[in-house]
Amino acid sequence: MNKPHNSRTVRRKSSGSRYYVVAIFLAVGGLIFSAGYFILPTALVSNYASVAEVVATSTPEKEEIGFVATHIKTPKSVKAIYMTSWVAGSKEIRSGLVKIADTTEINSIVIDIKDYTGQIAFPVEDIYLQSFDSVEKRVTDIRDFIATLHKKGIYVIGRISAFQDPVMVKLKPELAVRRASDGGVWKDYKGITWLDAGAKDVWKYLAAIGKEAYLDGFDEINFDYIRFPSDGNMKDISYPFSENKSKSEIMREFFAYMEKELRPTGAVLSADLFGMTSTNTDDLNIGQLLENVLPYFDYISPMVYPSHYPPNFMGFAKPAEKPYEVVKFSMDAAVRRTIATTTSIALFGEQPISTTTKPFVYKKSSYDAQKIRPWLQDFNLGATYTADMVRKQIQATYDAGLDSWMIWNASNHYTVAALKSEDSQAVTISQP
C-alpha cells in the first residue's frame, strides 16, 4: 500500500490587517515586561520566540499557509481504471469505482481534469485560470476526494485533454484550427473543434491547469489529445500557428515546454499516444513520434485498443478479436524502440524527424522499458469484450516485459471478473 506524504502548498497572500499586532496589544491586558521582551500569553505566541517574530509574520507581505495537499509515490506496477469527471462529482456513483480499487488489484485511478468538452472540472484558485470562463464545477470536493483516495493508498492521475477544446475555441477563436477554404473554425467528424497545437498561448494555459491540479493533490498529470486532428476533412484545414514547421517538430517543442514548466512542481508526467505510434516510424500525420516523447515524460501510454487497428493489421481481418496478439506485438515494438540506442528515424541533434527515404540509423538515448504503460480496452467495439479478452491484454503487457497498464471504458463500466482480487496471485493465461 502506498503511504501518503505531505506536500505543503502556499495558496495565497494573507489578507489580514496591517495593524494585527496593535490589535493584540490592545486586546491583551497584563503584559509582562521582562528582560527587554514582551512575553505574551502562550496561546497567542505558540511557535514564536519573541514579539519581533510575531510582528514579522503579521505583515501583508507574509504568505499564509492554506490547503495542504498529500501525494503518494508512483506504484512500481500501476494498475489503473479511468473515471470521468461527471462520475468523480457524484459520491454515490464514484464509490463503485473506488470499491473496485479496494477489492481488486487496481491501485490507481485516472480522473478527468479537462475532458473533450474543454471544461475544467473543479474550482481553480489560479487568477490566470480564473480569467477564462472555462470552469464547470463538476467535482466540488476534489481535494477531499483525492485525500480519501490517498488514505486508501490509491495513486491519482489527472487527465488533461489538450488540443481538443471547444470551450477555449469559443473564448479564443484566434487560437483555433481553421478551414482553409473560408477561414472559419474547422470541426472534426464529431463536430468537435480543436486548438492549433502550435499556439503557445495554449501551451501556457495547459501548463497552468497542470500546476493547479498538482497543488490540489493529483500525483500525476496525464496529457491526452496531444496531437493534430486526424478524423475530419483534412483537405480543408489550416493551422494559423503551425504552417511553417513539421507537425512532429511542433509537438516535440510542446513536450519540451510542458516538462520545463511542470517538472519543478514535483508532479509525475505522462502522455497518451495513438496505439500505432508503437509500430509506425512516421508521425501518422498527427505529429506523434514515440522517440520525440520519451525524453520529456515519465510514462508513455500508447492506446493499444485492438478495435482501433485497421482491418488486416498483422493479417487479422478483425484485430479487435485478437486482443493478446495485437497488444503483444505493439508492446514488443514499443519496448524495442524505447531501450534502443539507435533509430531509423532521422535525428538532428535532439530533434527526431520522420524520414521515408531510407532506413537510416541514428543514435538515440536508451530509456527504461517501464516508461511504457499502455491503455487497454474494456469496451465493446469490433467485438464483445469478455473478461478473458480483457485479461489477455494484461497478460500480453506482462509478456512484453512491462509492469503497468491502464484500462479504458468511457462509460466507466469495468469487467471486474478480469481483475484479480487484492490478495490473490495474478491470473496467467497461456499464449494462443
The confidence score (pLDDT) of residue 363 equals: 87
Grid coordinates representing 282? 512516421
19, burial (CB in 10 Å: exposed 0-12, middle 13-18, buried 19+): exposed
Enumerate the domain spans of the chain. 7-66, 69-418
Contact at 8 Å (CB) between 362 and 343?
Answer: yes
The confidence score (pLDDT) of residue 163 equals: 98
Grid coordinates representing 140? 466540488
Average pLDDT, the chain: 85
Radius of gyration, alpha carbons of the chain: 25
d(CA 274, CA 382): 17
The confidence score (pLDDT) of residue 53 equals: 34
Nearest in space to 161 (alpha carbons), one of 229, 262, 80, 87: 229
* C-beta neighbour count of 78 within 10 angstroms: 23
Helices (H), 318-386: 323-339
Residue 135 β-bridge partners: 120
Q: Residue with C-alpha cell 477555449? A: 168
Q: Residues 75-92: pLDDT tens digits? A: 999 999 999 999 999 999
d(CA 66, CA 215): 11
Contact at 8 Å (CB) between 229 and 267?
Answer: no
User: Topology of domain 69-418, per CATH?
Assistant: TIM Barrel (3.20.20)
d(CA 38, CA 43): 14
The confidence score (pLDDT) of residue 318 equals: 97
d(CA 100, CA 97): 5
d(CA 171, CA 421): 47
Grid coordinates representing 431? 499464449
Q: Residue with C-alpha cell 482491418? A: 311
d(CA 156, CA 421): 20
d(CA 370, CA 73): 15
d(CA 124, CA 116): 19
Cα angle: 302, vertex 400, 379; to 5 degrees: 45
Amino acid letter for position 177? V
The confidence score (pLDDT) of residue 243 equals: 87
Residues in the chain: 432
Q: Residues 220-241: pLDDT tens digits? A: 999 999 999 999 999 999 999 9
Backbone angles phi, psi at 279, to 5 degrees: -110, -25
> Could you tell me the mean pLDDT of each successive run of 10 residues in the chain, 432 residues long?
46 38 37 33 32 34 66 98 98 97 98 97 96 94 97 98 97 97 96 97 98 98 98 95 93 98 97 97 95 97 98 97 98 97 70 52 92 98 98 98 98 98 52 38
Grid coordinates representing 173? 477563436
